[in-house]
Amino acid sequence: MTPHTIGFIGAGNMARSLAGGLINNGWSADRLLLSDPDANQRRGAEQALGLKTYSANAALATVADVLVLAVKPQALKAVAEEIAATVQKKRPLVVSIAAGIRIDDIERWLGGDLPIVRVMPNTAALIGSGATGLFANPRVTEAQRDTAESILRAVGVTVWVQDEALIDTVTAISGSGPAYFFLVMEVLEKAAIKHGLDPKTARLLTLETAYGAAKMALEGGEEPAQLRKRVTSPGGTTEKAVQTLEAGQIERIFDDAVVAAMRRARELADLFGK
């Protein structure tokens, strides 16, 4: 069992999901704490997880060995400056899940010279199927890397990147990615209804097909391109559909989408990191 006390600043959905995932993975509930100025958020966390909560972020920071910053990007500067003096005394491992905020800015707001891991989880972490990218600054030890990874691995898979700029790519692929797949499901469902299926049947077939394709890709041991070729018979219906998608430049469209998301991530980092 871990000896660390992990404090989550912010008691919203992601913080609760991480804390719940840790409990499910055997972490002691009395080593997990949350803070939030919103009484409703605190009450919800207490009822859902049975964890101790604080109304004051600085009070939590005095007892946490690992501090998880789970607040909105636009609020992070104020929160960090509020707890900076306490953090400098305690010197915890800091894990930030605030989208777009660079480590240099977080460290500056907290007073400097701290081990900080920046992570980018996605919304599927809420159901324990997340995909998270992590980047550590040079002050993070191997043991601290393991701790940070354990926290995020409690709600899904984790990957480390060696350049912080790649977190923007992670944001564009897995962070924003669920919305891309939801959009594909949405348009397939609409097409099914347009061409005669009732809404309930259209949704069931669309969602089960998406689930089955993802399951095959995860468990089959083959590249997606090879899986596609295996289900695309020459001269058949699938081939014609795929040709239509390729003629519509689907690869370029998705690349443009990823570039746009990366660009926006950098813009938000510049905006909120001032």
* Strand arrangement, sheet containing 130-136: 52-54, 32-35, 6-9, 66-69, 93-96, 116-120, 130-136, 156-160
Q: What is the dihedral of CA 51, 159, 80, 24, to 10 degrees?
A: 0
Please give the share of the chain, as a percent, with pLDDT higher than 70: 99
Tell me the pLDDT band of 274, cut-offs 50, 70 and 90: confident
What pLDDT score was predicted for residue 194? Answer: 98
In a domain? residue 274: no
The pLDDT tens digits of the residues spanning 126-145 come to 999 999 999 999 999 999 99
Judge if 127 and 189 occupy the same domain.
no
218 and 151 share one domain: no
Q: Read off the pLDDT of residues 26-63 as tens digits, 9 standing for 90 and up.
A: 999 999 999 999 999 999 999 999 999 999 999 999 99
- Which of the 8 DSSP states describes residue 249? T
Q: Which of 132, 167, 202 is the last residue of a domain?
A: 167
pLDDT at position 3 is 67
152 and 98 in a common domain: yes
By residue range, what is the domain housing residue 78?
6-167
Averaged confidence pLDDT in the chain: 95
Q: What is the CATH number of the domain that holds 229?
A: 1.10.3730.10
User: What is the number of structural domains in the chain?
Assistant: 2
Structural domain contains residue 256: yes
The predicted structure's pLDDT at residue 9 = 98
Last residue of a domain, one of 119, 138, 167: 167
Q: Which residues pair with 135 in a beta bridge?
A: 118
pLDDT at residue 2 above 60?
no
Secondary structure of residue 62 in the 3-state scheme: coil
* Amino acid 1: pLDDT: 43
Asked if pLDDT for residue 68 goes beyond 70, the answer is: yes
- Residue 139, Cβ density class (10 Å: 0-12 exposed, 13-18 middle, ≥19 buried): middle
pLDDT higher than 60, residue 78? yes
Tens of pLDDT, residues 162-214: 999 999 999 999 999 999 999 999 999 999 999 999 999 999 999 999 999 99
With 90 as the cut, is the pLDDT of residue 221 above it? no
E strands, the chain, are 6-9, 32-35, 52-54, 66-69, 93-96, 116-120, 130-136, 156-160
d(CA 33, CA 52) in angstroms, rounded, equals 5
pLDDT for the residue numbered 110: 98
